[in-house]
Structure 1
């Protein structure tokens, strides 16, 4: 059966401190339906998710700004407006805004999400040439 979630039924998800470092504005556009959750998230400069993984993977679509993403044990990579990212099932990762840019993305999460610890400042700025700074 088709399900429509009008804006009046969507809303902010959780408390940002439980899943994010810095200031981020998550907005649920589709509450979990058949194991799929869709969120739009606006990250202020330096804001990022905590380490996490998704049972069946995740798709990110960068709508605006510039961001960073890292899988555990891999280098940090830069995200740009228009990028689409596939994160495989069970891969521990984080994503967020660059230190000097806002970033907005749509996150399509498949299955359950398991949240872990915050991303350290060293992990946040590793391998991308940005100055280390703590988000507000």
Structure 2
């Protein structure tokens, strides 16, 4: 008796999608480090630097989020996990958007809320990168 096994596995991210996704994480992490530097030194330039890093990360993450939604609707990912990556990336983007609004306030008024939002947003972006680059391996079919 012949057994037909469907060998279609999800493909990895498109290279351009991967560049935008991988580019947002260091910008958000740099903003977190800038917020830590501002928290320790109260040099206002660190807060300005964090604002610019967050703005750049939001642009790259928005393009990656658009690619992730198109990818999820195309059903190239596993059925159970295909919406997990776009949802985590959207959560990271929203947290960082609120972080950008927090940084738009006066530098003295932005702490410690901006530091907390930077940490949460960076961890969510790290989770989105891990989910986005995860491709299941080919297993042994019994």
TM-score by length of 1: 0.23
* Structure whose residues are more often strand by fraction: 1
Greater Cα radius of gyration, structure 1 or 2: 2
* Structure whose residues are more often helix by fraction: 2
